[in-house]
């Protein structure tokens, strides 16, 4: 099977330059990846670089810590959509989740989804910082807030995606939300394992190598 349609080709490094983003977009078109995933300042550049292709632009919000105010996240998301983002990957407020402020976590996701309307919303729960019980709660809150995807990781935490976490997430969300595995996926065999478990998208900076 071809894994290209599953891949969000990603460069979220602090050091990423405009030429790095153009290269990312060029590779995404060449390999027919589903999307590129970039920081907000590069959304319009990526949109322009991809204008004659079917490759989508995903932008990260509240990245990578998730600890910004809800208002800041909403502004950032709306700004990215205005600049051409087709999808938004937001980081939950991990501290709120750890403190069992479930209503606040759910309300924030819901507010972002409302602000961006029909734009796809992926919710990064950053599994490396959570207990299994917290992962389950994060997935449930994301579904209750009408998110389109739950996503494992930023790739900037202490760990990335694991097969066990994806199995847990799939058990919780079923068919009510899609799953994106992200962080540390660097070879094709691993990517195929995630796809077999039911993920709809794989976030990786190693797309060309995976193929």
Tens-place pLDDT, residues 115-152: 999 999 999 999 999 999 999 999 999 999 999 999 99
Q: Which residues of the chain have pLDDT under 70?
A: none
pLDDT digits (tens, 9 = 90+) for 145-166: 999 999 999 999 999 999 999 9
From the list 126, 54, 51, the residue with the least C-alpha distance to 91 is 126
Catalytic residue among 47, 73, 78, 151: 151
What is the domain range of residue 99?
4-210
Query: Is residue 151 among the annotated active site residues?
Result: yes
Query: Is 180 an annotated catalytic residue?
Result: yes
Domains: count for the chain: 1
The catalytic residue among 8, 89, 148, 165 is 89
Is this model's pTM higher than 0.85 or not? Answer: yes
pLDDT of 1 reads 80
CATH number at residue 106: 3.20.20.70
Would you state the pLDDT for residue 92? Answer: 98
107 part of the active site: no
């Amino acid at each position: 099977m071809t894994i290209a349609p599953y891949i969000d080709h990603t460069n979220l490094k602090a050091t990423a330059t405009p030429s790095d983003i153009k290269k990312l977009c060029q590779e995404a078109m060449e390999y027919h990846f589903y999307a590129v995933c970039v920081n907000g300042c590069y959304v319009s550049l990526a949109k322009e670089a991809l204008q004659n292709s079917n490759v989508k632009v995903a932008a990260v919000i509240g990245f990578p810590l998730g600890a910004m105010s809800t208002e800041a996240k909403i502004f950032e998301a709306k700004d990215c959509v205005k600049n051409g983002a087709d999808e938004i990957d937001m980081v939950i407020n991990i501290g709120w989740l750890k403190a069992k402020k479930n209503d606040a976590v759910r309300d924030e996701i819901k507010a972002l989804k409302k602000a961006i309307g029909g734009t796809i919303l992926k919710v990064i729960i950053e599994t490396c910082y959570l207990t299994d019980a917290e992962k389950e709660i994060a997935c449930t809150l994301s579904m209750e807030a009408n998110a389109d995807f739950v996503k494992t990781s930023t790739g900037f935490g202490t760990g990335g995606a694991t097969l066990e976490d994806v199995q847990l997430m799939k058990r919780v969300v079923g068919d009510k939300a899609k799953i994106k595995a992200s962080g540390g996926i660097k070879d094709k065999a691993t990517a195929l394992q995630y796809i077999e478990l039911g993920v709809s998208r794989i976030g990786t900076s190693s797309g060309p190598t995976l193929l």
